[in-house]
């Protein structure tokens, strides 16, 4: 991208100094450009001997024209390529003397397979018998269908959560995705567990660069269904709201635990959904994994004093005000309870997975998708290949508190 900007500026300088009559069409980039899978805008300086026009028939690659006294610019806007396949689009530029075709080649998006391991604290209680490998697989099937957009309403994240099949040492797991921890202590203050490593969770979890760690235990805060540590981002590729740090590309945290935690007591609990009662665990997992991959709640007034989720396509509302309203309504229907009022006073229906009850919770928006893909591409302590970031300060001292969301 920086290469195209430098060529563009140099081309403008040269063409602005030219005195001779020029016929034809000349582009600062040549007749072909290669772009990443991300959504982006590329500006190309264009020199033409007469008035020119363009045609861009490809839906994912759109062109526009900017004319100034300093020269003309062809602007190319590409949409994100959610497939793993490289694709090609064209823009035809024409004037009275010539027709030129610009070829735009966009890379395919990386398909992420994210190994997941459930660390199940067990003391032989009744709830332990319910935490089966079969039920964990059922929950992950729900999560994968959601993150693939298989309901036809949500974005396709182009990823798959897979149950781990081996330990870090390479030993095959008896039950895929399950690591049982026999312990007399199975109930924890989960904020202390994650934030301060109070219960030596760093000795329990497996390398976060290779696994997503999900800890199953009972919470001392019994009404909380789940909690998650949010990701880090590199200084050179930071993301609003997330902590910036470069050290975890070469080392692991020792004072906090990079993991998701799910409350065991809710394993057989159900909540009111759009179509009747629905299990708590599957939607809780989808919600907490959203936090783990960089998403915030879509409302204000929640934990951490959050006032925005940094996504323009998710309407914000006052959660405490909603709770007060809900308590005042006698036996609302689900459709009524799913109504919200945004900061501008406009009523809308809640569909987002990063909302709380009552909500359809069946969607991720394009802006939320972009945040998750950014984390997958750049963040340490997240499985999968990473895009290299220049000038990382790996000796940086960690000064930001761990960020935990429920």
Give the rounded percent of residues in the chain with a pLDDT score beyond 70. Answer: 90
Same domain? 83 vs 127: no
Same domain? 82 vs 155: no
Give the rounded percent of residues in the chain with a pLDDT score beyond 90. Answer: 70
Q: What confidence tens digit (pLDDT) does each residue in 246-303 have?
A: 888 888 999 999 999 999 999 988 887 766 778 999 999 999 999 999 999 999 876 5
Closest alpha carbon to 290 in 339, 229, 350, 234: 229
For residue 182, the model assigns a pLDDT of 93
For the chain, the distance separating the N- and C-terminal CA atoms, rounded to the nearest angstrom, is 37
Q: What confidence tens digit (pLDDT) does each residue in 188-203 have?
A: 999 999 999 999 999 9
For residue 19, the model assigns a pLDDT of 45
For residue 393, the model assigns a pLDDT of 58
Same domain? 99 vs 128: no
pLDDT higher than 70, residue 372: yes
Domain end among 106, 135, 153: 106
Mean pLDDT, rounded, of the chain:
89
Contacts of 397 (CB under 8 A, 6+ apart): none
- Sequential DSSP letters for 5-69: HHHHHHHHHHHHH--S---SEEETT-SEEEE-SS-EEEEEEEEESS--EEE---TTEEEEEEEET
**pTM of the predicted protein model:** 0.84
Q: What confidence tens digit (pLDDT) does each residue in 290-311 have?
A: 999 999 999 987 656 677 899 9
Same domain? 254 vs 345: yes
For residue 392, the model assigns a pLDDT of 62
Q: Which of 3-12, 117-126, 157-166 has the highest mean pLDDT?
A: 157-166
The Cα 61–Cα 78 span in angstroms is 5
pLDDT tier at 159 (50, 70, 90 boundaries)?
very high
Domain end among 106, 126, 156: 106
- Counted domains in the chain: 2
For residue 399, the model assigns a pLDDT of 45
Same domain? 90 vs 53: yes
Same domain? 303 vs 317: yes
Same domain? 51 vs 161: no
The Cα 288–Cα 296 span in angstroms is 10
Same domain? 53 vs 128: no
Same domain? 60 vs 144: no
Same domain? 93 vs 196: no
Bridge partners, 163 (sequence order)? 116
Q: What confidence tens digit (pLDDT) does each residue in 65-111 have?
A: 999 998 899 999 999 888 889 999 999 999 998 999 999 999 988 89
Same domain? 128 vs 57: no
Q: What confidence tens digit (pLDDT) does each residue in 114-145 have?
A: 999 999 999 888 777 789 999 999 999 999 99
CATH of the domain at 169: 3.40.390.10
Q: How far is the CA of 120 from the CAs of 179, 180, 262, in angstroms? A: 6, 5, 10
pLDDT higher than 70, residue 17: no
For residue 14, the model assigns a pLDDT of 54
15/376: higher pLDDT: 376
Domain end among 80, 106, 132: 106
CATH of the domain at 46: 2.60.40.10
Which residues form the domain of 66? 2-106
Same domain? 129 vs 87: no
Q: How far is the CA of 333 from the CAs of 274, 329, 342, in angstroms? A: 10, 10, 20
Closest alpha carbon to 29 in 7, 60, 58: 7
């Amino acid at each position: 991208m920086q290469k195209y900007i430098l060529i563009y500026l140099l081309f403008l300088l040269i063409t602005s100094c030219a005195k001779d009559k020029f016929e034809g069409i000349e582009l600062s980039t040549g007749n072909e450009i290669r772009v990443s899978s991300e959504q982006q805008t590329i500006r190309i300086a264009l020199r033409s001997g007469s008035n020119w026009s363009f045609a861009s028939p490809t839906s994912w690659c759109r062109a526009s024209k900017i004319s100034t006294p300093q020269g003309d610019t062809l602007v190319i806007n590409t949409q994100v390529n959610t497939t793993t396949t490289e694709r090609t689009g064209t823009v035809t530029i024409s004037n009275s003397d010539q027709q030129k075709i610009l070829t735009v080649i966009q890379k395919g998006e990386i398909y992420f397979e994210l190994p997941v391991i459930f660390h199940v604290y067990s003391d032989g209680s009744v709830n332990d018998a319910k935490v089966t490998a079969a039920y964990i697989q059922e929950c992950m099937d729900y999560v994968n269908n959601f993150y693939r957009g298989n309901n036809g309403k949500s974005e396709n994240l182009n990823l798959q959560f897979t149950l781990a099949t081996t330990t870090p040492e390479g030993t095959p797991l008896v039950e895929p995705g399950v690591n049982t921890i026999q312990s007399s202590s199975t109930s924890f203050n989960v904020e202390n567990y994650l934030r301060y490593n109070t219960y030596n969770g760093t000795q329990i979890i497996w390398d976060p660069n290779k696994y997503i760690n999900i800890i199953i235990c009972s919470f001392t805060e019994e009404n909380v269904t789940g909690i998650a540590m949010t990701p880090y981002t590199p200084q050179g590729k930071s993301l609003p709201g997330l902590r910036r740090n470069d050290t975890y590309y070469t080392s692991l945290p020792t004072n906090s635990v990079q993991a998701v935690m799910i409350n065991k007591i809710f394993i057989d609990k159900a909540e009111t959904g759009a179509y009747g009662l629905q299990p708590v665990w599957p939607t809780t997992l989808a919600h907490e994994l959203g936090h783990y991959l960089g998403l915030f709640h879509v409302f204000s007034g929640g934990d951490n004093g959050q006032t925005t989720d940094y996504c323009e396509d998710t309407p914000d509302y006052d959660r405490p005000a909603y709770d007060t309203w809900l308590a005042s309504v006698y036996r609302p229907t689900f459709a009524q309870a799913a109504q919200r009022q945004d900061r501008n006073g406009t009523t809308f229906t809640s569909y987002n997975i990063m909302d709380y009850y009552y909500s359809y919770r069946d969607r991720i928006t394009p802006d939320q998708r972009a945040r998750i893909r950014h984390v997958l591409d750049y963040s340490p302590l997240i499985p999968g290949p990473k895009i290299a970031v220049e000038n990382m300060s790996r000796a940086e001292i960690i000064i930001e508190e761990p960020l935990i969301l429920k």
